[in-house]
């Protein structure tokens, strides 16, 4: 007998592949009219693996712009995943994090120039999902989608940057420059 979850997973993947899922499946955030409220095939698989639509939920703050930056790394995806997912490595590739220490319930305490913050990865998975949430002491929260996928003997590491309401174009460009620098730092550390 075929497991119902597996059957649903294959059905949704099929719908995504033929481009009809947005009309048929409520997993796509239809309450939000922003162009960024879309889900990737990897997100769809992760939703079924975790029983959640996404790891941290849609914030309701629609982005004005969205860019996904990527870097090719000549290292197997599982090694890159392990390095990035280890919070102790954060200060090595994110200069904004001055230090990191274990916290409670999977949330790590990080020190930034803006003060202390909480850092939390999406649940450990074998799909390369490295989404993470940063909660600043000011109350602001950033949710950052990040993925690593196999690419031959190496991999591609991707990070999605959102231009949220109130963010200037110049600030958005600066955020993309910083993320690109972080991705290249990971590549240089691992290759």
**Same structural domain, 72 and 109:** yes
The C-alpha atoms of residue 135 and residue 147 are separated, in whole angstroms, by 20
Distance, CA of 16 to CA of 109 (rounded, Å): 38
**Is pLDDT larger for residue 92 or for residue 23?**
92
d(CA 97, CA 16): 37
Query: Which two three-digit tokens encode residue 157?
Result: 């590491």
55 with 134, same domain: the answer is: no
Residues 71 and 48 in one domain: no
Domain boundary among 59, 81, 109: 59
Domain finish residue from 27, 44, 59: 59
What is the SS3 assignment for 142? Answer: strand
Is the pLDDT at 9 greater than 80? The verdict is: no
Q: 130: which residues sit within 8 A by CB, 6+ positions away? A: 81, 84, 85, 121, 122, 146, 147, 148
Question: Could you tell me if 42 and 97 lie in one domain?
Answer: no
Most confident of 77-81, 118-122, 172-176: 77-81
Average pLDDT, integer, range 173-181: 92
| DSSP letter for each residue of 106-126 | TPEEEEETTEEEEEEEPPP-S
- Pairwise pLDDT comparison (7 vs 121), residue with the higher score: 121
If one compares 58 and 157, the residue with the highest pLDDT of the two is 157
CA-to-CA distance for 157 and 137, rounded, in angstroms?
A: 29
Q: Are residues 54 and 106 in the same domain?
A: no
- Cα gap 189→82, rounded to integer Å: 13
Ramachandran category for residue 75: left, alpha or beta (phi over 0 → left; psi -120 to 50 → alpha) = beta
Positive or negative: CA dihedral 123, 129, 135, 136: positive
Please check whether residues 32 and 98 belong to one and the same domain: no
Element (H, E) at 101: strand 99-102
Domain that holds residue 135: 63-191
Q: Are 71 and 150 in the same domain?
A: yes
Q: What is the pTM of this model?
A: 0.68
Total tally of structural domains belonging to the chain: 2
Query: Are both 51 and 6 inside the same structural domain?
Result: yes
Q: Verify that 107 and 134 share a domain, yes or no.
A: yes
pLDDT of amino acid 165: 76
User: Count of residues for the chain?
Assistant: 191
Q: What is the pLDDT of residue 10?
A: 47
Q: Give yes or no for a contact between 94 and 112, defined as CB atoms under 8 angstroms apart.
A: no
Residue 142 pLDDT grade (very low, low, confident, very high; cuts 50, 70, 90): confident
Query: C-alpha dihedral over 149, 75, 97, 99, to 10 degrees?
Result: 130
In this structure, the answer to whether residues 74 and 152 fall within a common structural domain is yes
Give 47-102 pLDDT, tens digit per residue. 344 433 334 444 444 546 788 999 999 999 999 999 999 999 999 999 888 999 99
The domain that holds 159 is classified in CATH as 3.30.530.20
Do 102 and 154 fall within a single domain? yes
The predicted pLDDT at position 64 comes to 67
Per-residue model confidence (pLDDT) at position 29: 33
């Amino acid at each position: 007998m075929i497991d119902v979850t597996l059957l649903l997973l294959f059905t949704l993947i099929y719908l995504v592949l033929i481009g009809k899922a947005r009309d048929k499946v409520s997993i796509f955030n239809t309450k939000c009219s922003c162009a960024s409220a879309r889900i990737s095939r990897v997100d769809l698989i992760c939703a079924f693996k975790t029983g959640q639509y996404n790891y941290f939920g849609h914030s309701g703050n629609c982005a004005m712009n969205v860019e996904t930056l990527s870097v090719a790394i000549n290292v197997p995806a599982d090694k890159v995943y392990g390095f990035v997912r280890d919070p102790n490595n954060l200060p090595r590739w994110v200069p904004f994090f001055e230090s990191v220490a274990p916290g409670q319930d999977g949330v790590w305490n990080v020190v930034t120039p803006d003060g202390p913050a909480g850092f939390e990865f999406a649940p450990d998975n074998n799909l390369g999902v490295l989404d993470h949430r940063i909660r600043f002491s000011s109350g602001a929260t950033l949710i950052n989608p990040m993925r690593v996928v196999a690419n031959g003997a190496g991999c591609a590491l991707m990070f999605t940057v959102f231009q949220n309401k109130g963010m200037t174009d110049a600030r958005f460009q600066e955020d993309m420059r910083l993320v690109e620098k972080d991705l290249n730092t990971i590549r240089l550390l691992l290759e």
